[in-house]
Structure formats: structure tokens, C-alpha cells
């Protein structure tokens, strides 16, 4: 059976640097920093007092109080990003076969805020005061459920969970779902809202997140020699994937074409990447091979680029292994330098940045690149965006537990 072609026809975002796609994209091109002191809770006593929060967000602008009793913050973000993506796609759902429209949306952590809030009630006020909505607020699959229920979408509906690779797994699975005919359209991506006492304290105890509290705007610095950990971010990214002939039949605008995926495991360590980025090497090679391309056909990589010592070093090594001398001709950038790390939503935000780079031939920078690291010696598009023809690009996501995903996007050609 020949695999069907899959294109991207809609985008939706809620991020630390913008509350929609265009606002976020313009901020990324401008090198805008989204990291600031935490406002969502009192950080007294915490080693880390900074994060990349979604700004100017009031849930009551989007949901009524009754709805909010049922919606964790991560689900709110997911619904709003999905709404934007569906609207952007131009899909007239009244004319579509909703049995053929799926929703595959994940989260790395899910409703941690709800868990924390209800656990406090349990301890201080007793078990009878727990909310009846607690479990369906918290569970990771509920974001996909809410999106499908709101829009009456009855195709494949589930969540993926693979830490920081979650959204990329969702998108790659959506791609395969359409390729093999199980849906014509899939809403896919990820959402995360874990900037809370438990989230920050947990990552602090691992020594994983930056403590550069005096300079929050410089805390996220992927590939820089003075990086000291990632910065927690929050938000949601959603894409509408669509079978090509279905998109053409309705005259849809097409951002680009997904042409390859690579899913691998490190099978190495609970948090650290495999030496030399071995798992990442196989993920990138699989994505390029799945796309029917050669390494030199790629012009740009949106890197996982977390601003942690091991990730940035190993990811650089992996790129060199896959691309050889050509690695030095590639343009590479880290969205996380501006947005922080959206955990389970990061792969969707970063794929959207990759898709727009392919569509507009513009590459956003890696900001805060000030002190070169000899172990990270590639072209990370330091500090200023550039214009460059991008015909094919990769976006990579790597999660705790050794989960690796690389997605390959090309310009759409008839």
C-alpha cells in the first residue's frame, strides 16, 4: 500500500513570548526573551525563582467559571491552541466527515497544578472536600478529550506521554495515522503547565534547571559555555495535519509537508542522553531516510537545545555524526533560548517554528550565545535571525527516559 502524503494546514500556539502563532513567530524572529521572575506562586525558599510563563493570560477571558472547575491550566492551553489551529486551517467542520478527524494531544506531566491543589485540600481539610472533577482534571489524555468533545471530532483520539518528546511523538503518530488511512485530518500537539511549587522543587532537586535568578533574561543559553540548566516554560502548540488530496479538494493553504519521522530509544539512563547522542543519531537518520532524502538535503535543524550541559554537548556530537563535515554548513537554532522548555509541549512549538522557517525562509536565533563552548562548535544562528532558503528541515525532541523523536518537514511541492 502506498503511503499518503501529509501536509500541515493549520497552526495554533500559546507560548511564553506570544499568545498566538503570529505573535510568537515575530517574537522569535526578534530574539525576544520570555523568561522572568515567577509570578504563579511565592518562590521564597526555592533555589530557582524564574521561569517562562505565559503572559497576559486570564482564563476568564476564555472560559466561564463553571468550565474552569473542570479544566486544569494545561487543558485550557490545549483547547485555545487547538481552536486557533482549527480556525487557521479553514476547515468547515459542518461539511467534514468528523469520523475521519482525529485528535492526538499529549502532555509530559498533565494536571500537576490540580494534583497539588487537591492534595493540599486532602491533607488540610480531609477526603470529603476533594473535588469530584479532580481525576478528569489531572489525567493527561483529558486535553485530547476536551478538544474532541468541543468540536465533535470522532476519529482516533488519545494522548502520547514521553516527557519532553511528547508533542513530537503526538505529531509523528498523527502523521502515520493519516499516511495509513485511519484519518484524513488530525489535530495534534502538546500542552504543559507545570510551573508550580512541586514542579520547580522537583527539578531543583535534580539540579536540572537554571538558578540564574539575578539575570532571568540570560538564564536560557543553549550551547553556550556558561549554561547552567534549562528554564521551565509553559504553553501549548497544535498543528492540523491533513491528507494532501483532502487539503487540495477544499482549497486549503499549505504551510509545508511532513515527510519523515524517526522514533528511537537510548536505553541508557533515566535522565542523561546516551554518550555521543547515539539515540539522537539514529532518530535523525531514520527521519532523513523516511523522507527519502540525503543529509545534505537538509538546510536547518531546530535543535532540542535545552541549555543543559549534557544535552547540548551530546546533541552537537550527534549532528556531527549524522552530517559529517556538512554539519558545519547547517543552520541550527534553539527555540528554548527564548521560550524556556515547555516539556511535553516543546516539540509542537518547535515544529511550528521549523515549519515557518521552511515556509518563510527565515530562521530564528539562539539568543544568549555569548561564550563559545569548544564542545559545541556548530552554527547556532547566534543572537540574530537570518534569512536563508530552507527547503527541508529537521526538528528534534529528546525526553527523560531516553525517548528520541526527529521530524522532517519540506516545502510543499505539487
Kindly list the catalytic residues: 164, 304, 341
CB of 72 closer than 8 Å to CB of 114: yes
Measured distance CA(359)–CA(351) in Å, rounded: 12
Q: Helix, strand, or coil here: 203?
A: helix
Measured distance CA(358)–CA(259) in Å, rounded: 13
Which residue spans within 30-109 are E strands per DSSP? Answer: 36-37, 50-51, 101-106
Q: How far apart are the first and last CA of the chain?
A: 21
- Supply angle C-alpha 36, 316, 287, rounded to 5: 100
How much helix, strand and coil, in percent to the nearest 5, is found in the chain? 40, 20, 40
Q: Is the dihedral of CA 46, 75, 165, 374 positive or negative?
A: negative
Length of the chain: 414
Q: What is the per-residue DSSP string for 242-265? A: EEHHHHHHTT----EEEEEEEEEE
Amino acid at each position: 500500500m502506498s503511503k499518503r502524503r501529509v501536509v500541515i494546514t493549520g497552526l495554533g500556539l500559546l507560548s511564553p513570548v506570544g499568545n498566538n502563532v503570529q505573535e510568537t513567530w515575530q517574537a522569535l524572529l526578534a530574539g525576544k526573551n520570555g523568561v522572568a521572575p515567577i509570578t504563579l506562586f511565592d518562590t521564597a525558599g526555592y533555589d530557582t525563582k524564574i521561569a517562562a510563563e505565559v503572559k497576559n493570560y486570564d482564563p476568564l477571558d476564555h472560559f466561564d467559571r463553571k468550565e474552569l472547575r473542570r479544566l486544569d491550566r494545561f487543558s485550557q492551553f490545549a483547547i485555545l491552541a487547538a481552536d486557533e489551529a482549527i480556525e487557521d486551517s479553514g476547515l468547515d467542520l459542518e461539511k467534514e466527515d468528523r469520523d475521519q478527524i482525529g485528535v492526538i494531544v499529549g502532555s509530559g506531566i498533565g494536571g500537576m497544578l490540580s494534583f497539588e491543589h487537591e492534595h493540599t485540600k486532602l491533607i488540610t481539610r480531609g477526603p470529603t472536600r476533594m473535588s469530584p472533577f479532580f481525576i478528569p482534571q489531572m489525567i493527561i489524555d483529558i486535553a485530547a478529550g476536551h478538544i474532541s468533545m468541543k468540536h465533535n471530532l470522532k476519529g482516533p483520539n488519545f494522548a502520547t506521554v514521553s516527557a519532553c518528546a511528547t508533542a513530537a511523538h503526538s505529531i509523528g503518530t498523527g502523521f502515520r495515522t493519516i499516511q495509513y488511512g485511519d484519518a484524513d485530518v488530525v489535530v495534534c500537539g502538546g500542552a504543559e503547565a507545570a510551573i508550580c511549587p512541586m514542579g520547580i522543587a522537583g527539578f531543583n532537586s535534580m539540579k536540572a534547571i537554571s538558578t540564574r535568578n539575578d539575570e532571568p533574561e540570560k538564564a536560557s543559553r543553549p550551547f553556550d559555555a556558561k549554561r547552567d540548566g534549562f528554564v521551565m516554560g509553559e504553553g501549548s502548540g497544535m498543528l492540523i495535519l491533513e491528507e494532501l488530496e483532502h487539503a487540495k479538494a477544499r482549497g486549503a493553504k499549505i504551510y509545508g509537508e511532513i515527510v519523515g519521522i524517526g522514533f528511537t530509544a537510548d536505553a541508557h539512563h533515566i535522565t542523561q542522553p546516551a554518550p555521543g547522542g547515539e539515540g539522537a543519531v539514529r532518530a535523525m537518520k531514520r527521519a532523513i531516510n523516511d523522507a527519502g532524502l540525503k543529509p545534505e538535503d537538509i538546510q536547518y535543524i531546530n535543535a532540542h537545545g535545552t541549555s543543559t550541559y549534557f544535552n547540548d554537548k551530546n546533541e552537537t556530537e550527534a549532528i556531527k555524526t549524522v552530517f559529517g563535515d556538512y554539519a558545519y554548513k547547517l543552520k541550527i537554532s534553539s527555540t528554548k533560548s527564548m521560550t524556556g522548555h515547555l516539556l511535553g509541549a516543546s516539540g509542537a512549538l518547535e515544529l511550528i517554528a521549523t515549519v515557518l522557517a521552511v515556509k518563510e525562509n527565515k530562521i530564528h536565533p539562539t539568543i544568549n550565545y555569548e561564550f563559545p563552548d569548544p564542545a559545541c562548535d556548530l552554527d547556532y544562528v547566534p543572537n540574530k535571525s537570518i534569512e536563508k532558503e530552507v527547503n527541508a528541515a529537521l526538528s528534534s525532541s529528546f525526553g527523560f527516559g531516553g525517548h528520541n523523536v526527529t521530524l522532517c518537514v519540506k516545502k510543499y511541492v505539487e
